[in-house]
């Protein structure tokens, strides 16, 4: 969520909302980071 918010703020500060609304890059970045972090931190099966 933090990365999405940062992307949205930067997107608006750079004035890129004239080309594309900020919601699209925010959603794309948020989902991408969420998936990457979930895959990187997944628990491995314990071998007994």
pLDDT one-digit tens code per residue, 8-30: 999 999 999 899 999 999 999 99
pLDDT greater than 70 at residue 48: no
Q: Please check whether residue 11 lies inside any domain of the structure.
A: yes
Domain of residue 6: give its range. Answer: 2-40
Q: Please check whether residue 31 lies inside any domain of the structure.
A: yes
Q: How many domains does the chain have?
A: 1
Q: Please check whether residue 45 lies inside any domain of the structure.
A: no
Q: Please check whether residue 33 lies inside any domain of the structure.
A: yes
Cα gap 36→24, rounded to integer Å: 18
Q: Please check whether residue 25 lies inside any domain of the structure.
A: yes
Phi, psi of 41 (to 5 degrees): -110, 15
Cα gap 46→29, rounded to integer Å: 32
């Amino acid at each position: 969520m933090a990365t999405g918010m940062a992307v949205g703020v930067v997107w608006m500060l750079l004035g890129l909302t004239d080309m594309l609304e900020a919601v699209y890059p925010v959603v794309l970045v948020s989902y991408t980071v969420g998936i990457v972090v979930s895959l990187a931190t997944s628990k491995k099966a314990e071998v007994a």
